[in-house]
Amino acid sequence: MRSYSLLLILGYTWLIGGCQTPATPSPSIPVTIQAMKPAQTSMTATLIPSQTATAAPTEIRESPTATPDLASTVIAISSPKIEASFLSPDGKWRGEVVLYDCVQADTREDADTNAVEILKLIRVDDKSEMIVERDLYNCGGLGAYGFGGFFWSPNNQSFYYTNAARGAPDGLCGYWAHPVKHVNVNNGKVEFLDGGPLSPDKTKLAFWRDNEIVIWSLDEGEIAHIPGLVPETFNNEIAWSPDGKSLVYLQTELDCFPFGKSYVTHLDLSGMKQSLLLESETPSFNWLTWDAPYRISLVDDKGTMWRYNLVSQELRPVP
């Protein structure tokens, strides 16, 4: 019985070994590929010398029916192209978005085409690279995708970017802002924030986190937060005053057309004090901006533009 079992094991081993296909190494390229991860609060990028970095070979699993790693295959058969480049204020770092454009990496006849984007930071003096994130996407798919650089922090320590530069969430109806992330060049830590406008002096962000308005310093991180004035409403647009000392923001009763009752609130950042400027159901507003020192412009859910005078407190449609 033992001899018979041994023969079966040896035969099975020979059969599996004969069915495997050796992996084909990818051409050397100046990036390191990491396994894809779902969006998370923080992660750590890896710093490597660009001279020795190579792409991972196409993965061939032991199972004859397994699908190869699409991202590695796309990288192996597509030529890299630098989509965008962002130099830090001190000139020591450069952020790059590298695109491996759409190819049919899956050999099945009905397979879709795929592309890969890589966000990396390059240390200018020694050309070493920090691979921050990699994104594999279906070229014919829906949703928000792709990397886009926003800006560097004034102290050169953080690069701010989005992983949803193109498109929008499938089925989007109401308010949405491109998510914001930032990576620290010293430790490679990536932190997810949320979408929101940059202050006029380019030093702060304002964004929603759950039902709170967060004020974020690009250098120092969070410096203040406060709940939205009207509870049990949906978050909408935020706008900075031209001098950067105040905000106005919009909340709506519903999160899609028709938006129902809308509320416009003024937030004085010096004392984090709030006051309700407008409460209106007809018209119902779904967009605003603070485009002059004493004037806020709004758009209602029928596309009509309005102006609100902060001094006279008058709301009038634009002729």
Domain layout of the chain by residue ranges:
37-194, 196-319
CA 277 to chain centre: 32
pLDDT in the model for residue 68: 54
Whether the upstream peptide bond of residue 258 has omega within 30° of 0, thus cis, is: yes
pLDDT in the model for residue 109: 82
Question: Can you read off the two tokens belonging to residue 127?
Answer: 């050309």
User: With a cut of 50, which residues of the chain have pLDDT below it?
Assistant: 1-44, 46-67
pLDDT in the model for residue 108: 86
pLDDT in the model for residue 49: 39
User: What pTM was estimated for this model as a whole?
Assistant: 0.78
pLDDT in the model for residue 110: 86
Selecting from 3.40.30.10, 3.40.47.10, 1.10.510.10, 2.130.10.10, what CATH number does the domain 196-319 have?
A: 2.130.10.10
Quote the strand ranges of 253-314, DSSP E: 262-268, 273-280, 285-292, 295-300, 305-309
CA angle 157, 158, 160 (to 5 degrees): 160
pLDDT in the model for residue 195: 96
CB neighbours of 271 closer than 8 A, spacing ≥ 6? none
pLDDT tens-digit map of 151-173? 999 999 999 999 999 999 999 99
Neighbours of 141 (CB within 10 A): 11
